[in-house]
């Protein structure tokens, strides 16, 4: 069955879905929503792969180290179980183990490396070198395995600094392309990534905020994608509640509205984009 919608970045393998992950995924698949479960560190990467393995089609995974987990991290209770918030040192600053992630990435359901990149919003800039080192290692692994990158880039408020640094590193080192997830930058920054061959994806934020309307309006339709980043940032109709892949349809409808396109052609193109970028056969 070909997908009706594609949620290219979600986390149904996170702690937030411990009680009902299978039911959540059944709702999505029944509606024709395919998804990519995104790893954020070693354990969530293993969990993403194991979760995707349960399904014959429509559920895929990435493996990678989120920049916030390269240092003594903020551990969101929706992401990691209580043991990770216990203060144990092994959970406070992961060093990217290329061999370990290479082995995980060999799984046929793993379609990208990441989420990886740079995050200057939550962490202080003195973590920059650790973030950059982990980012470079993951680019190297993606190059080796010829898998695209799932990028997490978040600048300081009022700045484009993390986007600028990440772009320069990618220009120097990346032999593969990929997607800039949860894009929050300017039109100028988006254009640089599109010109370099990287897509950008948008979340339910666009259903209740107008900040990214211009970027979406100008964007070539074949260079953008839809995501939920579930369990976070539920769209307008579910705002304040837990997000899930099923709700990606609201993101797609909003993209169609902003671009003044009909929903059917928008759905079709965004699905094609996801299949193309992540080399998925439907």
Sorted by where each begins, the domain ranges of the chain are 5-277
- Residue with token string 């980012």: 135
Structure tokens at 230: 């579930």
Closest residue by Cα to residue 117 from 63, 168, 164, 66:
66
How much is the average pLDDT of 39-59?
Answer: 97
How much is the average pLDDT of 86-105?
Answer: 80
Q: How confident is the model at residue 92 (pLDDT cuts 50, 70, 90)?
A: low
Q: Tell me what pLDDT residue 80 has.
A: 83
Question: Could you tell me how many helices (H) and strands (E) the chain has, helices first?
Answer: 9, 8
CATH of domain 5-277: 3.20.20.140
Q: How confident is the model at residue 84 (pLDDT cuts 50, 70, 90)?
A: low
DSSP string for residues in 178-213: EEEES--S-HHHHHHHHHTT-EEEE-GGGGT--TTH
Q: Compute the distance between CA of residue 26 and CA of residue 189 in angstroms, rounded to an integer.
A: 37
- Is a pLDDT exceeding 50 seen at residue 89? no
Q: Helix %, strand %, coil % for the chain, to 5? A: 45, 15, 40
Q: How many residues make up the chain in this entry?
A: 282
CA 234 to chain centre: 15
Phi, psi of 245 (to 5 degrees): -55, -35
Half-sphere exposure of 257 (CA within 13 A, CB side): 12
- Is a pLDDT exceeding 90 seen at residue 51? yes
- Is a pLDDT exceeding 90 seen at residue 264? yes
- Is a pLDDT exceeding 90 seen at residue 127? no
- pLDDT > 90 fraction of the chain, expressed in percent and rounded: 89
Q: Compute the distance between CA of residue 171 and CA of residue 110 in angstroms, rounded to an integer.
A: 24
């Amino acid at each position: 069955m070909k997908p009706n919608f594609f949620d290219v970045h979600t986390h149904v393998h996170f702690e937030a879905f411990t009680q009902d992950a299978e039911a959540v995924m059944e709702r999505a698949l029944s509606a024709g929503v395919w998804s990519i479960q995104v790893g954020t560190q070693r354990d969530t990467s293993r969990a993403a792969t194991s979760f995707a393995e349960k399904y014959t089609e429509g559920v895929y995974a990435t493996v990678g180290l989120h920049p916030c987990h390269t240092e003594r991290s903020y551990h969101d209770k929706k992401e990691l179980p209580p043991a990770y918030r216990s203060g144990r040192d092994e959970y406070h600053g992961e060093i990217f183990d290329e061999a370990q992630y290479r082995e995980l990435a060999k799984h046929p359901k793993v379609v990208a490396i990441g989420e990886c990149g740079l995050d200057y919003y939550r962490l202080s800039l003195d973590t920059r070198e650790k973030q950059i080192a982990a980012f470079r290692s993951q680019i190297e692994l993606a190059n080796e395995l010829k898998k695209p990158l799932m990028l997490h880039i978040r600048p300081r408020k009022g700045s484009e600094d993390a986007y600028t640094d990440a772009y320069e590193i990618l220009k120097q080192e990346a032999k593969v392309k990929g997607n800039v997830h949860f894009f929050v930058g300017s039109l100028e920054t988006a254009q640089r990534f599109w010109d370099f061959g990287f897509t950008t994806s948008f979340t339910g934020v666009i259903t209740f905020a107008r900040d990214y309307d211009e970027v979406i309006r100008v964007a070539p339709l074949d260079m953008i994608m839809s995501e939920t980043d579930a369990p976070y940032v539920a769209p307008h109709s579910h705002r304040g509640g837990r997000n899930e892949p099923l709700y990606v349809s609201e993101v797609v409808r909003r993209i169609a509205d902003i671009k003044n396109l009909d929903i059917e052609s928008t759905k079709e193109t965004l699905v094609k984009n996801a299949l193309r970028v992540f080399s998925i056969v439907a």
